[in-house]
Amino acid sequence: MKNDQIALYLNDHPEFFNQYPELLARIQSIASEDMPLKPVKTLNIADRILKRAQEDKENMKNQLVSFMEISQANEKIQENLFEIDRIIMYSLNFSQMIGQLREEIIKRFKIPGVQIILMDGDKHLMERCLKERLAKNSVDGLQFVDTDTVAGWFSTDLKPVLRAEMTEASGIFGAISELNIQSEALIPIILHGNLIGAMALGSESPHHFHEGLRTDLLERTAEKLGIAIENILLLDLMKNQPVLDSNTGLYNEIYLDPVLRREFGWAQCYGKSLSLIKMHIDSFEELVNTYGKSRIKKVLQEAGKVLAENSRGGDIMISCGAGDFLILLPDTSEQGAGQIAQRIRKILINHMFPELENDCVRIIFGVAATPGKDIESPADLLAAAGEALEKAQKQKDKALTV
């Protein structure tokens, strides 16, 4: 350290002399003319300290001003994002939602290029349904792009891609001739842990989007967009197709595909268990032959009522016809699902069906759960429950023949 640095340190840390009192005595004994710091053309120690304090004060003031400006800007951004989130989460019409979303982003953030891109393929039910719905009426700002192309935009960790100072025409906005896009952001739309598309934003400023720019708020908006699309499709399904079985009052098989995909996706995304019970009234054909279809129809109606009354809040019960039922149990392990299946079977067997004699209702079931061996898709879960049911049927038949 230089002499003046040592002097400044000692001035700022008088406690140093508590350990070395003899050093303080020696310093006090030095004559002023023998001091190593010459006042000529330099500031004395006191002046230096005052100058440093003044500089610190100015720096602190500048930091406070900058902090206030950033806080005000963040408040404005939060206000704008709140309005955009409101549009996304409360829209019931997909085409209208995309139009309003583009309009608000352009108006509030001065970003002229806004495109919503969905992966075009059979892997995701929602995109297939949307494309069928929108086949006759195209929506401005919406593109369907093949799965490989969209996946190729992002790395394996599905992080946003930011491009600045673009010298070549944008592959996404290039067809929009009136825009001169010079920087762009591609935000992945992820639903249930799977990539389903991207939210593309393009700016005519070469430095609007650049590496290092925070994208957490944009990622949150893209995530909500995926959830909103799924919700709109489910509402549309319930509105335009009967998803309730008229006889049992439970959901019918039309509802199975979308709800199974949704619950399986959520389970994988959040590391939760999802169990599926496949239940069959084993004596169904026998009952039909004995009592006739009209009376058995009333039996199924009563069975649906019993199942609904004994289900938990989040359980999803589906009637598949011919005495078959599926029960989706979110956040439930295979062991827990087995206990629920046994309880339901006991309730149904002991229930007094007005149309039947006692002890003529026999129930078998199969249980499967994710995470589980070789269960990587909703179809795998459904197949595993079916295999478990077949195994239970064979064990019952073997017991009866012994």
Q: What is the pTM of this model?
A: 0.54
List 162's β-bridge partners, or say none: 185
Among 126, 98, 109, 112, residue whose Cα is nearest residue 225: 98
**Predicted local distance difference test score (pLDDT) of residue 81:** 65
State the Cα–Cα distance between residues 250 and 304, nearest whole angstrom.
6
Residue 206 near residue 182, CB atoms below 8 Å: yes
Residue 274 near residue 381, CB atoms below 8 Å: yes
List 184's β-bridge partners, or say none: 163, 202
State the Cα–Cα distance between residues 318 and 244, nearest whole angstrom.
9
Say how many C-beta atoms besides its own lie within 10 A of residue 343's C-beta: 11
Which three-class secondary structure state does DSSP give residue 145?
A: strand
**Protein fold of 243-401:** Alpha-Beta Plaits (3.30.70)
**Predicted local distance difference test score (pLDDT) of residue 186:** 92
**Predicted local distance difference test score (pLDDT) of residue 400:** 47
Asked if the bond preceding 112 is cis, omega within 30° of 0, the reply is no
What are the structural domain ranges in the chain?
A: 3-42, 90-237, 243-401
Both tokens of residue 253?
A: 């098989």
State the Cα–Cα distance between residues 154 and 152, nearest whole angstrom.
5
Residue 250 near residue 242, CB atoms below 8 Å: no
Both tokens of residue 258?
A: 């979308």
List 187's β-bridge partners, or say none: 199
Helix (H) or strand (E) holding 119: strand 113-120
Which tens digit of pLDDT belongs to each residue from 112-145?
888 888 887 655 545 556 666 665 567 788 888 8
Give the CATH architecture of domain 90-237.
Answer: 2-Layer Sandwich (3.30)
Which residues contact residue 207 at a Cβ distance below 8 angstroms, ignoring those fewer than 6 apart?
Answer: 164, 165, 183
Q: Is 21 exposed, middle or buried, given 0-12, 13-18 or 19+ CB atoms closer than 10 A? A: exposed
Residue 144 near residue 163, CB atoms below 8 Å: no
Q: What is the pLDDT along the chain (402 residues), one digit of tens a residue?
A: 555 566 666 666 666 656 666 666 666 666 665 555 554 445 556 666 666 666 766 776 666 665 555 455 556 556 666 677 777 766 667 778 888 888 888 887 788 888 888 887 655 545 556 666 665 567 788 888 888 888 899 988 889 999 899 888 888 887 766 788 899 999 999 887 788 889 999 988 888 888 888 888 788 888 888 888 777 777 776 666 777 888 888 888 888 888 888 888 888 877 889 999 999 887 777 777 777 777 778 778 888 888 888 888 788 999 988 888 999 999 999 999 999 999 988 888 777 666 556 556 678 899 999 988 888 888 899 999 999 999 988 886 654 444
Pair type for strands 324-330 and 363-370: unpaired
Both tokens of residue 260?
A: 């199974």
**Predicted local distance difference test score (pLDDT) of residue 401:** 46
Residue 295 near residue 302, CB atoms below 8 Å: no
Phi first, then psi: what are they for 330, rounded to 5°?
-65, 145
State the Cα–Cα distance between residues 336 and 155, nearest whole angstrom.
38
Q: Any idea what the Cα angle at residue 368 is, between residues 364 and 369, rounded to 5°?
A: 145
